[in-house]
């Protein structure tokens, strides 16, 4: 049997990061970190709420109630009418459109 494929998580020979195996199914379940960090557009949500003072649900309702339907049109609208930065507007629109129509 071949040994598992390994790689360095850091770059270059000076990395002190240990080797990581690419066979997580062989790692005992209690050693797998199940506290995954939020990634993608949702990672912007805490800073959006802090900076603009509105909950994300309110921004999503605004996006859904807009007559605009295209991603970049909605981003431009949030930037022009509500003063959001491009990254924050893009994250809100991407996440909202990926969810589909409003539930309820």
pLDDT digits (tens, 9 = 90+) for 39-85: 888 899 999 999 999 999 999 999 999 999 999 999 999 999 999 99
What is the count of structural domains for the chain?
1
Domain membership flag for residue 75 = yes
The DSSP bridge partners found for residue 36 are none
Domain membership flag for residue 52 = yes
pTM more than 0.85: no
Dist. CA 92–CA 42, nearest whole Å: 8
Domain membership flag for residue 68 = yes
Domain membership flag for residue 91 = yes
Count of CB atoms within 10 A of residue 59's CB?
A: 24
**Structural domain of 48:** 40-99
Domain membership flag for residue 77 = yes
Domain membership flag for residue 80 = yes
Contact 19, 7 (CB under 8 A): yes
Tell me the CB-side half-sphere exposure of residue 80, using CA atoms within 13 A. 6
């Amino acid at each position: 049997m071949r040994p598992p494929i390994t790689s360095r998580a850091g770059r270059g020979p000076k990395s002190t990061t240990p080797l990581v195996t690419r066979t997580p199914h062989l790692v005992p379940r209690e050693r797998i970190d199940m506290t995954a960090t939020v990634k993608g557009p949702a990672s912007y949500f805490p800073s959006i709420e802090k900076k603009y003072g509105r909950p994300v649900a309110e921004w999503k309702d605004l996006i859904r109630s807009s007559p605009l339907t295209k991603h970049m049109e909605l981003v431009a609208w949030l930037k022009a009418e509500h003063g959001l930065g491009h990254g924050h507007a893009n994250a809100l629109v991407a996440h909202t459109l990926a969810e589909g129509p409003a539930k309820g």
